[in-house]
Structure 1
Amino acid sequence: MATLSSSPSPSILSSSTANPKTPSLKPPLLFFPKPLTTALTTALATTTLLLTSPPSSIASDAYNVYYGTAASAANYGGYGGNSDKKASAEYVYDVPDGWKERLVSKVEKGTNGTDSEFYNPKKRQEKEYLTFLAGFRQLAPKDVILNNLALSDVELQDLIAGADSLVSEEKKDENGQLYYVYEIDGIGKHSLIAVTCAKNKLYAHFVNAPAPEWKRDEDTLRHIHESFKTVGSS
Structure 2
Amino acid sequence: MNSTTLLFSPNSSLLITKPSSGLTKRRAAVRCSNEPDLSVSHEVEGVEMVGRRRALVSAAAAACGASVLGFAGHGMAATQGLLAGRIPGLSDPDENGWRTYRRPDDKSGGHGVGWSPIIPYSFKVPDGWDEVPVSIADLGGTEIDLRFANPKEGRLFVVVAPVRRFSDIIDDDATIEKIGNPEKVITAFGPEVIGENVEGKVLSSATSEHSGRTYYQFELEPPHVFITATAAGNRLYLFSVTANGLQWKRHYKDLKQIAESFRVV
Give the TM interval when normalised to the shorter protein: 0.5 to 0.7
SS at match of 1:104: coil
Matched-pair identity in %: 27
1:91 lines up with 2:128 in the alignment: no
**Gaps in structure 1 of 5+ consecutive residues:** 1-59, 75-87
Asked if the contact 1:67/1:89 (under 8 Å) is kept, the reply is no
1:229 lines up with 2:257 in the alignment: no
TM-score, normalization by structure 1? 0.56
1:138 lines up with 2:175 in the alignment: yes
Which is further off, 201-210 or 141-150? Answer: 141-150
Cα 1:72–1:110 shift into 2, 3 Å: farther
Q: Which of the two has higher C-alpha Rg?
A: 1
CA distance in 2, matches of 1:61, 1:157: 36
1:170 lines up with 2:170 in the alignment: no
TM-score, normalization by structure 2? 0.50
Match in the other structure for 2:45: none
Match in the other structure for 2:157: 129
SS at match of 1:145: helix
Cα 1:113–1:62 shift into 2, 3 Å: same
Asked if the contact 1:70/1:115 (under 8 Å) is kept, the reply is no
- Residues 10-53 of structure 1, C-alpha deviation per residue, up to 9 Å, x if partnerless? xxxxxxxxxxxxxxxxxxxxxxxxxxxxxxxxxxxxxxxxxxxx
Relative contact order, higher structure (CA 8 A, sep 6+): 1
Match in the other structure for 2:221: 185
CA RMSD of the aligned region, Å?
2.8
1:118 lines up with 2:158 in the alignment: no
Q: How many residues align?
A: 152
SS at match of 1:122: coil
Match in the other structure for 1:36: none
